[in-house]
Structure 1
Amino acid sequence: MRITLFLALCAFSSVSSLAQGLTDRDSSLSLLRRGITENKVGTTIREPFNPSQKAYAIPGQTLPKGIRVLRSFNKDYVIVAIPTEQEWNSLIRQGIQPIAVNDYWKLSPELAETVLAAKQDDQQQSYLVELSDPKAFTDHYIGNRNISFSKVSGQHNIAIIRTSFHWLEKHILQDTMVRFIARQRQPVVERELTGFDLSANAVNAAHRLWPDIDGRGLTVSIKEEIMDTVDIDFKGRYKSSPDAAKLMQAHATTMTTIIAGGGNTYFTGTGVARGSQFSSSDFANLLPDNDANLTGTGISVQNHSYGTGIENFYGADARAYDQQVNALPYLVHVFSAGNSGSLTSTSGPYAGIEKMANLTGSFKMAKNVILVAAMDSIGNIPAAISRGPAYDGRLKPELVAFGEDGSSGAAALVSGFSLLIQQSYRDKHGQLPSAALVKSILASTATDIGARGIDFASGYGAVNAVRAIALVKKGQYHNGMINTGQQDSYRLTIPENIGQARIVLSWLDPAALTNSNTALVNDLDLELVNELTGEIWQPWVLNSTPSLDALTQLATRKRDSLNNTEMISLDIPAAGNYLVKIRANNLATNLQAYALSWHFDTLNTFQFTFPVKGDNLLPGKRNTLRWQSGYNGTGQLEYQLNNSGSWQSMDPNVDLSTPHYKWQAPDQFASITFRMTIGANTYHSDTVSISNNLLIRTGFNCVDSFLIYWQKAPTAVQGYRLYRLGDRYLEPFTELTDTALVQYASNNPYEYFTVAPILANGVEAEKAYTFNYKTQQTGCYIRNFLADAGQPNEARLTLELGTTYSVKKIGFEQLTKNGFIELSAVSPVVTFQNITTTFASNGLNIFRAYVELENGTRLYTPNESVYQFNENPYYVFPNPVNKGQSLRVMVEDPEGTSFVLYDINGRLLFQQRLSNTIQSIDLSRLQAGIYIYTIIKDGQRQLTKKLVIQ
């Protein structure tokens, strides 16, 4: 009797507290009880089973086996379906009293809030609807004038519909096929990138150390508008896709350049993975692309440098991306964090917390993607960059990279670098790594910036290309598979002299239910044990309590029950054997694959990462030197020019804990080498150039040959190396000591060229901007010829040459009734531009110029006209005019002017408005004879004269 009463009281207590949670504790939760008949929970212990009720709320701490969860609403309760009385009674016997709820649980948090605030309007809008059966849903509503469809994805069980909220609330919300509804948002690119620096994340040094790791054989997709596919930096590497965007945008071109630019235009156009191919995908579709289209195009990385507004919930799009990566485990999705760091979220668990949890898009809440924030070139995160956490307290963003004007470029850089990791792994194993392993490698090799350890602004730190590729080359990773309740152990030996060890576990977690309170499904736990001492370390975990003080606390070591990436780091670890333990704490599936990687920073090591071979410093400008150091304290920094052996001091006490040093280079062309002396050890950089790019131009472009020439280097050089654009990239084709090159067009069909000086010690200086010699408005020796009216009765003639090479003489000529006569000539010709003035009579004057070559060939310019009016603003010629010939009228100001012709008896023959300075009048219908013409301007007669047709 007492036991029965106790169970009844427990049931009553759970009903009371749950109902209270649904009504009083959170105003948004009261929406779930709107329109539900109250059963007076305080007086009635048992609510009867109702077979027509579609959803109930029950406590979520210990879910009964086999129950169908519709949504994990918050940490206290879940929304479930109870289709049979048998299941109902089973719950009652366990002391669980279900509470009936309405269909508003299907709404996104943003839509639910608009309902509560009565802010929704009745205008037609686009909504994203997750469905159990998209085809049946479409068949049911197609043709209904209240709803239209813009997209239906059977793969992701999602439809994009357009309707009014009133109709959606009355019809769509109650449809049993509908699982989730959110407003469809319009994506926007997250700012244009105005600066680019591969050295900030050591990508330039990775290119130097492993030149063959360039993304070759891999394809990246850029999801936004389409890039300029004919840009010479992309030559021969664009792959068409069914998902490609239709509109071209400069932002997409910039992102593609950062990821995969070939460096053909200029060195700043060199991307992270210049050997990769690339494709386009339209971000008008915020859902993942079709799996078959991605695999058919060979996509292994997709970049997403765009966002919507601040959104703090796990949307159907986030679920779809998590599903896709589980289906295609090698596919890496990289998203920009956003540029809303100065804004405060108005919805979700972190609403009102200033400048936190302002990531731009619910799709960025996905677990199996990489979210990237931006830093400047020395590791500071601008205030405008969005910060985490994710809506459920997970660590977001995971990484940072250079992107001084926004997170777009930072995401693009990580996308490019993910290709390099994939290629490094593929070259060792013949297959691509999982997206989980790529994320683990990026996190374990990242450089800590900002607050010490992980944080909601920088994640695991700034990506470091040299460390990551070195990790893959050394094989410092492990792929495993774990069962429910199982524990895996992996022995790890930490060598002597290690400054820090970082171990990162990552796994591709199954997709959670849309709108779940917590996204994690399979909970793995990472632990590190010192085999000798038995000491145990757990991962770093941040405080995700919704308060600013909590979110900005430093991480502590504890079990992580939120994230599907976990990191343990040890400073100055004792050398020896350790056990890395992975425990399947709580799995919803029987098996879970995982990836593990580890990185060791070695003490007392030093390496310059900028400049390295192929880099260039700008003369007279501030340049940033970079290094990776395992030393504490200071070092002495020096440089020498042109391998002179004379070392000049830059700073005797450089702080080695700061991995960069700003320095103004000498204003000269030279080779330069740096060295850092730390105690008894000296470390040298590669020898590189200090130089500016030279100007390169077309001298002549004739039918059979062309000449290109370039500015002479301001200092003595060994020579010049000429490059031409081949099938995909620039290729060197000749070296010479002169500053001009003549080529026969038949032997050299290439159009794009550039040049780089070779300094005395063989170091190549900066290349000129690559140019197309055919599009420089330079013809066969002649670039331009102009004839302008100068003073009254004067013409100013200007001839501009492309080159003086092989030019013997130039001359200027004027057309007379006896043909062209020479006015003046110049020989020898020593300048590109030659100017002369000559007499010009009233009316029309026609001039031309010529270039005479040393072989006797003369090249003429087109004719140019000069009009001189002086005191007479009107000229009619020729007069007399031959029968059938056109008459020309020259007018200084044709606006409002007409030409009127009469016969000798004063009868009007015709009138024609004048619209040009010189205009032809058709006289073909008139017979020979004498006529009278009049010029009328603004209704006033200006000139009347006789005209003779003979």
Structure 2
Amino acid sequence: MRKTTFPKIKNITLLALMLVFSIAFSQNSNDIKFQGETYEMPENIATFQWNQMPESAKLNNGYVGWIQFYETPSQQVQDLFKRNNLQLLEYIPNKTYLFNFPTTTSISLLKSNGVRTIVPVDGNAKLSADLKRGNYDYWAKDGDNILVTLQYYKNVSNNYAVNQLAQHQISVKQNYSEQNTIDLSIPNNCLETLSNLSFVKWVDLVVAPSIKDDTRGRSLHRANSLDTQTGAGRNYTGAGIGVMVRDDGRVGPHIDFQGRLTNLTNISNQSHGDGVAGIMAGAGNLIPSNRGMAAGSDVYVVNYASTFLDPQTVNLINDGSVQITNSSYSNGCNGGYTSITQTVDQQTLDTPSLLHVFSAGNSNNQDCGYGAGNQWGNITGGHKQGKNVIATANVDYRGELRNSSSRGPAHDGRIKPDITANGHNQISTNENNTYQTFSGTSGAAPGIAGISAQLYQAYGNLNGGDFPPSALIKATLLNTANEAGNIGPDYKFGWGIVNALQAVKLIEENHYLSDEVSQGTTKNHTINVPAGTTQVRFMVYWSDAAATPGASPALVNDLDMVVTDPSSNVLEPWILDPTPNPITLDNPATNGPDHLNNVEQVLINDPAAGNYVIDISGFNVPMGPQEYYVVYELISDHVTMTFPNGGEHFAPNYVEALHWDETNTTEDFVLEYSTDNGSTWNNIATVANDTQYYNWNVPNEVGANTLVRVTSGTFQDVSDAVFNIAKTVANVNVIKVCPDTASFEWNVVDDAESYDFYLLGEKFMEVVGTSNTNSITIPITDPADEMWFAVRAKNATEGWESERTNAKRYGGGILDCTVGISENTFDNSLLLFPNPAKNEVNISLLDKTYGSFNITVANSLGQILDRKMNINNTSKGTINVSNYSSGIYFVTIKAGENVSTKKLVVQ
């Protein structure tokens, strides 16, 4: 490690920004450590004069540089500086700030308020380690030039910055004028000149190329309990919340986003964004079991831009359209605290209701330079290293971590990933009303984003429609996550696997508070823990000030939490040892003061009843005051059945994954079911105590009074309400479409007394009629309109109902309807032969007044199989059906404004 001493001469020329990977300085050291170099800070305040500052430190009738205090300044001193327009722009660890002061600043004022050192910024300190290494990858090259991102000071106009660059023959590639950032193409020998310009704050290589993070989750996430789709349960669909898909292009068309989708990109024929959107916000209109998390949220789709400064993203955040974003992309690996990390952290501070959710990456087994081999420190992309964002790890539906899921720590030892969700083998939406199997942390992140939208709605319902601070939602998610991996947080699962049910209970029960703390002060909060509590979790979380790019550690405001129990025992939070050693990194968490993370938790098993005092102190708050949230979870049950939990629709002989939560149990779990509302019980299985799921082959017993029970020793829980077992309706078809009505039929379901008939409405499948037979005729307004339809069987006497069938599409047009001669002229002029067919079908029009016609062939699911456009009416159209499976198909012919659909039987 190189050590640099600042010379005590009039023209001081060097200093650097921040800390390398070091957990703390020695107590008496005034050094600044940054990117492998150590810089000594001379104690020069006694002799300092402003005329010692070089030309490169002069900016806008003032000076920029670094200022170090003897001690972190109190809030009174910080406020005094603000009143005197003495800007402490960014905090550099070890009591040092980047400053911008007017030329008239009184040195005696600085001296009397604890200032120790004032030095200019050397250009070398403004360059990232990647730039100084000089080994540029292909994506950072532009011919013989290199591509860099430049940040300039906020009080510098964009025009001034661009003009200064033009005078030095530096080419602007991309100008983010409202974000004080410019992408440049520069010669390699231009770096020194560029970095020594006074308005330049930081220079780094442009971000690495974007890579998609792709390689069933509602019940594992417990999100089913937030969106029960029943009158009695919770119905948090994310309605009124804007979610953003930042991905590879347009989403859809797909009826699972009916009435809720805004595409702001013209890129098509890509499927990654479709998969993300379906997990986050699909409504399950087409197939009910494929419903996503926030099925009522408003979905905005933009292209992924690695800077997070693209106009679509910025505008939708700033105008309040979007509260939650999802980006399932990587840009490099273990990138450290970059200018993009700073951007996403600052966006959260500027818009407190904004929550950025990211995939952690699929780069495990890759050594990304943390120093502990290829199983650690491989979180991808600088944006994921943010303190105020969420990075998500990936498990399967059983809660088992996928080997590819990237692992922490963050570059400076902070806990990453933050949380874990199911991203493996998720069934999600694809283009043209189809579905795809989706895997990787790309699928895990939108699960968290969707659940967050549900929590936003829950908070709004309790708070007059207001959006919650994202800090509260993130704290709630982390504090209520199910334990996974090692006890306490770890570098594989973060704080655990998301538990949406426990999270929403925390919001509903108002188990949170907020306050603020300043340098050297302490706030006390008393929380009563009732008798019978199995476990209590206290967590403090704060959205931290954005750090300077390159910072390590990146924590700016350092708060400490301790909990004092009713017996006056003092309890400290979990901490992990980030030493770059594979054994150390895999060790369970211990307890002690945490000076790396902006989240701390104290967990107590079998707590004594009484008052617990939560002390939050400002250990080091250089950019205060700091707002924080304390959230607490009181768990009274040792076991909790979470799926099925009431109102579900199961089909006989199908496999369903049962899920339950456990706290402090030791004995195996005994699973049973009842079909008579708990009067009698039947054995399902006994599973090991370290398992919280079971694949149940649903019995062939139709009824509405079904429950599942889980037992561990003396602890037991039952589904909150009964659920259904019933056969699903089969073979739903349209049989006739006339100008004013449409008729449908389906197979009879044994013991069904009635059937609900659904059509696709403004956003969801809606009941438009009920029939006591296996057919129905409904009124329609335009026979040319497409229809998506489905059916549910019911027995009111016994109280059961089946799952709704998958939606089927009819493309529109008169079908097998005898109408008046004038109305039926076009239909009668159509010839479709042979029908039934085996190899080919011919279509022609007898009415030659039409110059041409179009043909579309669809299967019974509404999927388009063939199209022929602009067929000359002097000839016939021919469709090859030799590869079609036997069954019923629909042939739609359109000529001019006339449309008709015919049934086609393929043998």
The alignment's TM-score, normalised by the length of structure 1, stands at: 0.71
The question of 1:563 aligning with 2:566 is answered no
The question of 1:373 aligning with 2:421 is answered no
Match of 2:626 among 592, 604, 607: 592
Question: Which secondary structure state, in structure 2, belongs to the residue aligned with residue 299 of structure 1?
Answer: coil
Match of 2:492 among 457, 460, 466: 457
Quick check: 1:227–1:256 contact (8 Å CA) kept in 2? no
Separation of aligned partners in 2, 1:150 and 1:566 = 40
Residue 872 of structure 2 is matched in structure 1 by: none
Residue 663 of structure 1 is matched in structure 2 by: 696
**Unaligned stretches of 5+ in structure 1?**
1-7, 34-47, 804-830, 835-858, 864-950
Separation of aligned partners in 2, 1:176 and 1:722 = 70
Residue 414 of structure 1 is matched in structure 2 by: 448
Residue 479 of structure 2 is matched in structure 1 by: 444
Quick check: 1:374–1:403 contact (8 Å CA) kept in 2? yes
Separation of aligned partners in 1, 2:593 and 2:386 = 21
1:632-665 residue CA offsets vs partner (Å, 9 max, x unmatched)? 42454222458796643223x4445532222233
Q: Shift in Å at residue 540 of structure 1?
A: 0.7
Question: Which secondary structure state, in structure 1, belongs to the residue aligned with residue 696 of structure 2?
Answer: strand
Q: 1:27-426 residue pairs with structure 2 within 5 A?
A: 51=54, 103-114=123-134, 123-132=144-153, 133=156, 134-142=158-166, 147-154=171-178, 156-161=179-184, 163-166=185-188, 168-169=190-191, 171-185=193-207, 188=210, 190-192=212-214, 196-208=216-228, 210-228=233-251, 230-239=253-262, 246-247=267-268, 249-288=270-309, 293-346=316-369, 350-351=370-371, 353-404=373-424, 405-426=439-460
Quick check: 2:418–2:495 contact (8 Å CA) kept in 1? yes
Computing the radius of gyration from Cα coordinates, the structure with the larger value is 1
Question: Which secondary structure state, in structure 1, belongs to the residue aligned with residue 323 of structure 2?
Answer: strand
Quick check: 2:256–2:286 contact (8 Å CA) kept in 1? yes
Of 400-409 and 777-786, the range deviating more from structure 2: 777-786
Residue 761 of structure 1 is matched in structure 2 by: 798
Quick check: 1:129–1:180 contact (8 Å CA) kept in 2? yes
The question of 1:709 aligning with 2:745 is answered yes
Quick check: 1:273–1:420 contact (8 Å CA) kept in 2? yes
The question of 1:475 aligning with 2:513 is answered no
Residue 752 of structure 1 is matched in structure 2 by: 788
Residue 695 of structure 1 is matched in structure 2 by: 731
Residue 878 of structure 1 is matched in structure 2 by: none
**Unaligned stretches of 5+ in structure 2?**
23-31, 40-50, 58-63, 425-438, 819-829, 844-856, 860-885, 890-899
Separation of aligned partners in 2, 1:305 and 1:594 = 28
Question: What letter is aligned with 1:674?
Answer: V
Question: Which secondary structure state, in structure 2, belongs to the residue aligned with residue 255 of structure 1?
Answer: helix
Distance of aligned partners of 1:502 and 1:248 in 2 relative to their CA distance in 1, 3 Å threshold = farther
Separation of aligned partners in 2, 1:789 and 1:190 = 45
1:576-601 residue CA offsets vs partner (Å, 9 max, x unmatched)? 11101111122123422111110011
Residue 638 of structure 1 is matched in structure 2 by: 672
Question: What letter is aligned with 1:440?
Answer: A
Quick check: 1:787–1:797 contact (8 Å CA) kept in 2? no
Q: Shift in Å at residue 269 of structure 1?
A: 3.5
Residue 785 of structure 1 is matched in structure 2 by: 833
Q: Shift in Å at residue 441 of structure 1?
A: 1.0
1:492-525 residue CA offsets vs partner (Å, 9 max, x unmatched)? 1111122211111111111112222221111111
Separation of aligned partners in 1, 2:283 and 2:203 = 43
Residue 875 of structure 1 is matched in structure 2 by: none
Separation of aligned partners in 1, 2:831 and 2:702 = 31
Separation of aligned partners in 2, 1:628 and 1:338 = 27
Distance of aligned partners of 1:283 and 1:777 in 2 relative to their CA distance in 1, 3 Å threshold = farther
Quick check: 1:724–1:732 contact (8 Å CA) kept in 2? yes
Distance of aligned partners of 1:73 and 1:120 in 2 relative to their CA distance in 1, 3 Å threshold = farther
Q: Shift in Å at residue 535 of structure 1?
A: 0.6
Distance of aligned partners of 1:63 and 1:527 in 2 relative to their CA distance in 1, 3 Å threshold = closer
1:85-135 residue CA offsets vs partner (Å, 9 max, x unmatched)? 9989x99xx999999985233233333333599998654454221112333
Q: Shift in Å at residue 720 of structure 1?
A: 2.4
Distance of aligned partners of 1:707 and 1:400 in 2 relative to their CA distance in 1, 3 Å threshold = same
Q: Shift in Å at residue 144 of structure 1?
A: 8.0
The question of 1:731 aligning with 2:766 is answered yes
Residue 884 of structure 1 is matched in structure 2 by: none
Question: Which secondary structure state, in structure 1, belongs to the residue aligned with residue 534 of structure 2?
Answer: strand
Quick check: 1:114–1:120 contact (8 Å CA) kept in 2? no
Distance of aligned partners of 1:646 and 1:82 in 2 relative to their CA distance in 1, 3 Å threshold = closer
Question: What letter is aligned with 2:471?
Answer: A
Question: What letter is aligned with 1:699?
Answer: I
Residue 430 of structure 2 is matched in structure 1 by: none
The alignment's TM-score, normalised by the length of structure 2, stands at: 0.74
Q: Shift in Å at residue 575 of structure 1?
A: 1.2
Distance of aligned partners of 1:164 and 1:450 in 2 relative to their CA distance in 1, 3 Å threshold = same
Distance of aligned partners of 1:118 and 1:247 in 2 relative to their CA distance in 1, 3 Å threshold = closer
Separation of aligned partners in 2, 1:710 and 1:726 = 21
Distance of aligned partners of 1:425 and 1:358 in 2 relative to their CA distance in 1, 3 Å threshold = same
Residue 899 of structure 1 is matched in structure 2 by: none
Q: CA RMSD in A?
A: 4.7
Of 701-710 and 479-488, the range deviating more from structure 2: 701-710
Separation of aligned partners in 1, 2:206 and 2:561 = 38
Question: What letter is aligned with 2:501?
Answer: V
Separation of aligned partners in 1, 2:139 and 2:769 = 71
Distance of aligned partners of 1:745 and 1:81 in 2 relative to their CA distance in 1, 3 Å threshold = closer
Question: What letter is aligned with 2:580?
Answer: P
Distance of aligned partners of 1:640 and 1:788 in 2 relative to their CA distance in 1, 3 Å threshold = closer
Quick check: 1:123–1:165 contact (8 Å CA) kept in 2? yes
Separation of aligned partners in 2, 1:862 and 1:331 = 51
Question: What letter is aligned with 1:414?
Answer: I
Quick check: 1:288–1:324 contact (8 Å CA) kept in 2? no
Question: Which secondary structure state, in structure 1, belongs to the residue aligned with residue 378 of structure 2?
Answer: coil
Give the number of equivalent residue pairs: 768
Question: Which secondary structure state, in structure 2, belongs to the residue aligned with residue 207 of structure 1?
Answer: coil
Q: Shift in Å at residue 425 of structure 1?
A: 1.9
Distance of aligned partners of 1:324 and 1:99 in 2 relative to their CA distance in 1, 3 Å threshold = closer
Separation of aligned partners in 2, 1:236 and 1:777 = 26
Separation of aligned partners in 2, 1:31 and 1:677 = 59
Quick check: 2:140–2:205 contact (8 Å CA) kept in 1? no
Of 550-559 and 775-784, the range deviating more from structure 2: 775-784
The question of 1:511 aligning with 2:546 is answered yes
Quick check: 1:344–1:355 contact (8 Å CA) kept in 2? yes
Q: Shift in Å at residue 802 of structure 1?
A: 12
Question: Which secondary structure state, in structure 1, belongs to the residue aligned with residue 319 of structure 2?
Answer: helix
Distance of aligned partners of 1:69 and 1:776 in 2 relative to their CA distance in 1, 3 Å threshold = same
Separation of aligned partners in 2, 1:607 and 1:63 = 48
Distance of aligned partners of 1:359 and 1:796 in 2 relative to their CA distance in 1, 3 Å threshold = closer
Question: What letter is aligned with 2:490?
Answer: D
Separation of aligned partners in 2, 1:507 and 1:166 = 40
Residue 825 of structure 1 is matched in structure 2 by: none
What is the percentage of aligned positions where both structures have the same residue? 24
Question: What letter is aligned with 2:488?
Answer: G
